[in-house]
Homo-oligomer: A and B are copies of this chain.
Amino acid sequence: MIGHDPTRTYKAVVIGAGSGGLTLAIGLAGFGHDTVLVEAGRVGGDCTNVGCIPSKALLHAAVSGERDPFGYVRRKRDDLATREDHEMEEHEQIHLVRGRARLTSERDPHVVEVDAPDGTVHRVLADNVVICAGSQPVEFAIEGMSDDTLVTNETLFELHDVPGTIVLVGGGAISLEMATAFRDLGSAVHIVELADRLIGNDDPLVSSTIRAALERRGVVMHIGTSIERFDEPTRTAHLANGDTIPGVDTVLLAVGRRPRLDGLGLKEAGVETSDQGVVADGWGRTNVDGIFAVGDITGNTLTTHGANAIGRRAVRAIALPYLPKTGDPRAMANAVYSRPEIASVGLSPSEVEAMSPAGRRRYEIQMPGIDRGYTDDLEHGVAMVDVERFSGKILRAAIVGPSAAEIIGMFTLAIDQGIGLRKMFAMVHPYPSYSQVVGQLADDFARDTYPALPKEWWGMMRGRVKNRLARR
């Protein structure tokens, strides 16, 4: 429902109605608790309005022959946002308050002040506070470039015409997905990345594979450089390395995210923060009793599924306080819905690197060499896994290729349940699925690990017969 009772102490006040906040509000309502949900913008947050939903809708529209791709995107986005908005306004146990929330030093109960759009200030009393204020794109000006040209994910989906030429600044998930979509829509696409490779927090082999795949599709890469200035009359981007990109219609700034910490009153409330955002544990708990933080604002996760997963744990922590707070959050895969897709799960590459090389092994399979890659004429794709040397316990898996975001699920389950490649070895994958790459990784592990058996045996075991032949 709309509005709250300023004299009543609620079970929780949830700041931000995005993926994390909705999980909290609906979850706590499920336990019979009334919550106050504070939102300054649109219900649904970034995911619904400027993130997952519009980007995936555009990726779909780009290949489904939609005559008005941006219209499709906005229709999908707005229909969902309207439904979510309506749901929150109608919910009997969720009290929706529009405005900007600010924590205070008052703790018993916690007091949150909300600056409403009409200038009034609401006081909300609650036993718990959950900060789900999200993140926003890192922004900076480019010399000579107008606001009409320079967009972020927050304004990109307002486009009406497919740009003739689009420049994507940054080589992360957003750029890779949008490079895919705009190429499929017919734009000339340039990626400008300051670092020496794309998707720099992932493995170098992931970077080089997705780079090759997108270049093959016609995306032009400008790596290790940046836009120095923009010449508006000729619409030319001048890069630091001397290159120029003429005829630029749109420039998307997608160089990273920063937590929306400003104005939240975190200091007043004594909530600890770091460069990443609000410091919170796997249950969403901050350093202050009864104050939780979930989702992008913590920097622990920048995904909807991450906010949802930790949000579900925070609901349990608040609604069932006697619940033992044991166990780590489950393995959370990352996925980029470029074509081909990218997915990874487990430790980060740097965490793997930090482990003793003697205790781990890396296996890699090129996906063009598996049979489905052969029938589909796949040119670029790879699956790789880092495992503990003898147990085959999975430290990290990463895939660049068709359906990577779905295939990764086998590794997610394996990590959750402590299943290593040793146990996955005899697994049978449907022929000729892309999942057969998992079987080949397990074969390679087995061949490498059990040298007591005749080495030729493993030569056979790696085959999936045809694959072995096709690789020659």
* A residues apposed to B, CB below 8 Å: 19, 22-23, 26-27, 29-32, 44, 47-48, 52-53, 56-57, 59-60, 64, 76, 80, 83-84, 87, 303-306, 308-309, 312, 315, 319, 329-335, 343, 371-372, 374-377, 403, 405-410, 412-414, 416-417, 419, 423-424, 426-436, 438, 454, 456-461, 463-466, 468-470, 472
Q: Which of B407, B419, B469 is the one whose CB lies under 8 Å from A417?
A: B419
Which of the residues B376, B409, B419, B426 comes within 8 Å of A330, measured between beta carbons? Answer: B426
Residues in B with CB closer than 8 Å to A438 are 409
Beta-carbon contact of A305 and B374 below 8 Å: no
Q: How far is the CA of A429 from the CA of B410 in the complex (A)?
A: 11
A456 and B29 alpha carbons, distance in the complex (Å):
8
**Cα separation A147 to B334 with both chains bound (whole Å):** 53
- Contacting pair B414 A413 (CB below 8 A): yes
Return A183 CB to nearest CB of chain B, in Å.
Answer: 15
Task: Say whether A333 contacts B430, CB under 8 Å.
Answer: yes
Which of chain B's residues have a CB closer than 8 A to the CB of A423?
A: 416-417
Given known A-B contacts A405-B435, A414-B413, A465 and B26 have beta carbons under 8 A apart = yes
**Chain B contacts of A457 at CB under 8 A?**
27, 30-31, 319
Contact of A431 among B305, B410, B435, B472 (CB under 8 A): B305
A305 CB contacts on chain B under 8 angstroms: 428-431, 436, 464
Q: Which 6 A-B pairs have the closest CB atoms?
A: A30-B460, A335-B430, A30-B456, A305-B431, A56-B375, A304-B431
22 pairs from A and B in contact (CB 8 Å cutoff): A26-B463, A27-B460, A47-B431, A52-B371, A60-B376, A80-B470, A87-B472, A305-B430, A305-B464, A308-B428, A331-B428, A332-B428, A334-B430, A343-B430, A406-B434, A409-B409, A409-B429, A409-B433, A410-B410, A416-B423, A417-B417, A417-B423
Contacts of A329 in B (CB 8 A): 428
Residues of B within 8 A of A468 (CB): 26
Contact present for B429 and A80 (CB under 8 Å)? no
For the complex, what is the distance from the CA of A117 to the CA of B23, rounded to whole Å?
Answer: 71
Give the oligomeric copy count.
Answer: 2
- Measured between beta carbons, the chain B residues less than 8 angstroms from A64 are 376-377
Q: Collect the chain B residues with CB atoms within 8 Å of residue A470's CB.
A: 80, 83
In the assembled complex, the CB of A153 is this many whole angstroms from the nearest CB of chain B, namely 15
Having A80-B466, A305-B428, one finds 7 other A-B pairs with CB under 8 Å, namely A26-B460, A27-B460, A59-B375, A87-B469, A315-B460, A410-B410, A416-B426
Asked if A405 and B433 sit within 8 Å, CB to CB, the answer is: yes
Q: Smallest distance from the beta carbon of A316 to chain B beta carbons, Å? A: 9
Q: Which residues of chain B are near A53, meaning CB under 8 Å?
A: 371, 374-375, 432, 466
Contact A333 B76 (CB under 8 A): no
Set B26, B44, B48, B428: member contacting A306, Cβ < 8 A: B428
Contact of A427 among B84, B343, B416 (CB under 8 A): B416
Q: Which B residues lie within 8 Å of A456 (CB)?
A: 29-32
Which chain B residues lie closer than 8 Å to A461 at the CB level? 27, 30, 312
Given contact pairs A53-B371, A60-B375, A409-B438, A303 touches B430 in the complex (Cβ within 8 A): yes
Known A31-B454, A56-B375; contact A405-B430, beta-carbon cutoff 8 A = yes
User: Bound state CA distance, A382 and B23, in angstroms?
Assistant: 25
Q: Which residue of B lies closest to A48 (CB)?
A: B466
Q: A56-B376, A57-B375, A407-B409 are in contact. Are A84 and B466 (CB under 8 A)?
A: yes
Chain B residues lying within 8 Å of A371, measured Cβ to Cβ, are: 52-53
* Chain B residues within an 8 Å CB radius of A407: 406, 409
**Least Cβ distance of A91 to chain B in Å?**
11
Indicate whether A309 sits within 8 Å of B47 (C-beta atoms), given known contacts A30-B459, A84-B469, A406-B434: no
Q: Contact: A465 with B19, CB < 8 Å?
A: yes
Q: Which residue of B lies closest to A376 (CB)?
A: B60
Contact of A465 among B22, B343, B464 (CB under 8 A): B22
Q: Kindly list chain B residues whose C-beta atoms are within 8 Å of the C-beta of A413.
A: 410, 413-414, 419, 424, 427
Contact B435 A406 (CB under 8 A): yes
A463 / chain B contacts, CB cutoff of 8 Å:
23, 26
Residues of chain B within 8 A (CB-CB) of A465 are 19, 22-23, 26, 308
Q: Name the residue on B nearest A430 (C-beta).
A: B335
Which B residues are in CB contact (< 8 Å) with A27?
457, 460-461
Partner of A432, one of B22, B52, B333, B431: B52
Tell me the nearest residue of chain B to A316, going by C-beta: B457
